[in-house]
Chain A
Amino acid sequence: MRELQLPLSEGDIASLKAYDQVLLTGKLYVGRDQVHSLLFECIQRNEDLPFSLEGEAIYYMGPSPAPEGKVIGSCGPTTSARMDPFSPLLLDHGLKVMIGKGPRSQSVVDAIRRNKAVYLQAFGGCGALYASTVKSARIIAFEHLGPEALLLLEVEKFPAIVAIDSQQGSVFAY
């Protein structure tokens, strides 16, 4: 189990191989379907993004409400394939790490390799487990989207498995 600091360095990303288990600590952006659609439109129209994608990591997630006294509610990954139409453009604009669950399209795999990026898989459905790794959470943009808003988290020892690495490796063989 490798412990890594977010944002990941180029060296970290290059060294990661499919099936490696990692624990991530640091800054993690959160966005799912609607956020991806909106970021995609922003880039296409040459508008400013709510945050710089350069070198950053994005987690596909929409939390349940935080009970009083808690930082966040349940917060496991959502299915990555729905972000596939948008991810290549985001990767081409500096995004380096994507975290979700399940397989990706060939065009995402190609964009990962082209940009020396990495796709990590979090444990699907494990919302209570991931809540225990989140130290802080705040809304960055699109608050009106409710559980789909763009968030910034500080995480500590967030567990994931390397699913598609920057070289040749992928866990999705079937």
Chain B
Amino acid sequence: MKLAERIRDALKHAVVELDEDVLAAIQTAFEREQFEAPKAVLQAILKNLALAKETGLPMCQDTGLLLVFADVGRSCPLSLREIEASIMEGCSMAVEQAYFRRSIVKEPVFDRINTQTNLPPVIWWNSVDGSGLQIRILLKGFGSENCSSVRMLNPTGGKEAVVEAVKQIVKTAGGKPCPPIFVGVGLGGTMDRAAYLSKRALLRDVRLSHSDPRYAKLEQDILAAIQGLGIGSGGLGGSITALHVAIEEESTHIAGLPLAVSINCWADRKAVVEWKEGEDA
């Protein structure tokens, strides 16, 4: 199958069905939640997922802005031109065939004319070792994206400042981003790199923690601080506000500690395509 078709199929699946790890996290939350109103929200979400699967309708009407992470092997035989064309074609076919909402406007301030194609996607290019190619796409809803934020922390603030900043951002979001939420945290780099890292963190399998135990502990501390806010599913209270926290970090300047938080709704939708040298392009 052509690369564009594989991208199309992954998107068509992602808009209707959640990955196993995300679904399991929602199911566990439903079983654990003790309060009636947030439990009703989690029950509605599970019923909605079953109905989406049955009818083929998108699980959420906000089928999102398509955020594409293209990790290209340094010796990948495909040209960037070919890869980009496949991404655009795959996205375009999926939008048409899987009834994505046309949610993209051409320009942000004045006319806000709808492109009618749900394109363009946002594409981040990244070079990695090897000859393969990995395309990962977040279908990013904007109710939650409007709650994402950046802070430039003091470099001596340490983990306490990080926990506090994320907590405040999630508190401000309250019930707006369709909790229970998934939280991506980007640390280091610059203002924009931290923001990019926070998006990239959302790609991680939600059963996994950070590979560095210090950051894994920080993820747990942030999660505990968020649960303590009592926002709950649908913003209706209860013990579960977030289902996972993932951090991505990188080097930064001596004077700074950039922090970004990307909030994703419970509809944590991802499409992943792995391409290996020798496969159809």
A residues contacting B by CB (< 8 A) are: 19, 21, 34, 61-67, 70, 73-76, 78-79, 81-82, 101-103, 121, 123-129, 131-132, 145-147, 159, 161, 171-174
Task: Report A-chain residues with C-beta under 8 Å of the C-beta of B48.
Answer: 76, 123, 125-129
- With a 10 A CB-CB cut-off, give which of A21, A81, A102, A147 has the most chain B CB atoms: A102
> Contact at A63–B37, with CB atoms within 8 Å?
no
Partner of A63, one of B101, B230, B267: B101
**What CA separation (Å) do A174 and B267 show in the bound complex?**
23
Contact A74/B58 with A64-B99, A128-B48 known, Cβ cut-off 8 Å: yes
Report if B30 contacts A (CB, 8 A).
no
**What CA separation (Å) do A144 and B41 show in the bound complex?**
34
Report if B76 contacts A (CB, 8 A).
no
Report if B182 contacts A (CB, 8 A).
no
Contact A67/B51 with A101-B234, A123-B44, A128-B59 known, Cβ cut-off 8 Å: no
> Contact at A74–B114, with CB atoms within 8 Å?
no
B151-189 residues at the A interface, CB under 8 angstroms: 171, 174-178
> Contact at B175–A102, with CB atoms within 8 Å?
yes
Task: Report A-chain residues with C-beta under 8 Å of the C-beta of B267.
Answer: 125
Name the residue on B nearest A63 (C-beta).
B61
**What CA separation (Å) do A61 and B58 show in the bound complex?**
14
> Contact at A127–B116, with CB atoms within 8 Å?
no
B18-68 residues at the A interface, CB under 8 angstroms: 36-37, 40-41, 44-45, 47-49, 51-52, 55-63
Task: Report B-chain residues with C-beta under 8 Å of the C-beta of A121.
Answer: 175, 234-236
Report if B265 contacts A (CB, 8 A).
yes
Name the residue on A nearest B230 (C-beta).
A174
> Contact at A125–B178, with CB atoms within 8 Å?
yes
Task: Report B-chain residues with C-beta under 8 Å of the C-beta of A147.
Answer: 61, 101-103, 114
Task: Report A-chain residues with C-beta under 8 Å of the C-beta of B102.
Answer: 65, 146-147
- Additional pairs, 14, CB under 8 Å, beyond known A61-B61, A128-B49: A63-B61, A64-B101, A67-B99, A74-B59, A102-B143, A124-B266, A125-B265, A126-B45, A126-B47, A127-B61, A132-B51, A146-B102, A174-B171, A174-B229
5 pairs from A and B in contact (CB 8 Å cutoff): A102-B176, A103-B235, A124-B143, A128-B55, A146-B116
Report if B127 contacts A (CB, 8 A).
no
> Contact at A62–B61, with CB atoms within 8 Å?
yes
Task: Report B-chain residues with C-beta under 8 Å of the C-beta of A78.
Answer: 62, 143
Closest 3 CB pairs of A and B: A124-B178, A126-B48, A128-B52
- With a 10 A CB-CB cut-off, give which of B55, B57, B58, B112 has the most chain A CB atoms: B57
> Contact at B116–A161, with CB atoms within 8 Å?
no
Q: How far is the CB of B37 from chain A (nearest CB, A)?
A: 6
> Contact at B57–A124, with CB atoms within 8 Å?
no
> Contact at A79–B146, with CB atoms within 8 Å?
yes
**What CA separation (Å) do A61 and B237 show in the bound complex?**
24
> Contact at B61–A74, with CB atoms within 8 Å?
yes
Partner of B60, one of A65, A67, A74, A103: A74
> Contact at B44–A64, with CB atoms within 8 Å?
no
Partner of A76, one of B55, B61, B174, B235: B61
Task: Report A-chain residues with C-beta under 8 Å of the C-beta of B236.
Answer: 19, 121, 161, 171
> Contact at B231–A126, with CB atoms within 8 Å?
no
**What CA separation (Å) do A126 and B116 show in the bound complex?**
23
Task: Report A-chain residues with C-beta under 8 Å of the C-beta of B36.
Answer: 19
Partner of A128, one of B40, B51, B100: B51
Name the residue on A nearest B241 (C-beta).
A174
Task: Report B-chain residues with C-beta under 8 Å of the C-beta of A82.
Answer: 146
Name the residue on B nearest A61 (C-beta).
B61
**What CA separation (Å) do A27 and B39 show in the bound complex?**
28
Name the residue on B nearest A79 (C-beta).
B143
Contact A65/B141 with A125-B45, A126-B45, A128-B52 known, Cβ cut-off 8 Å: no
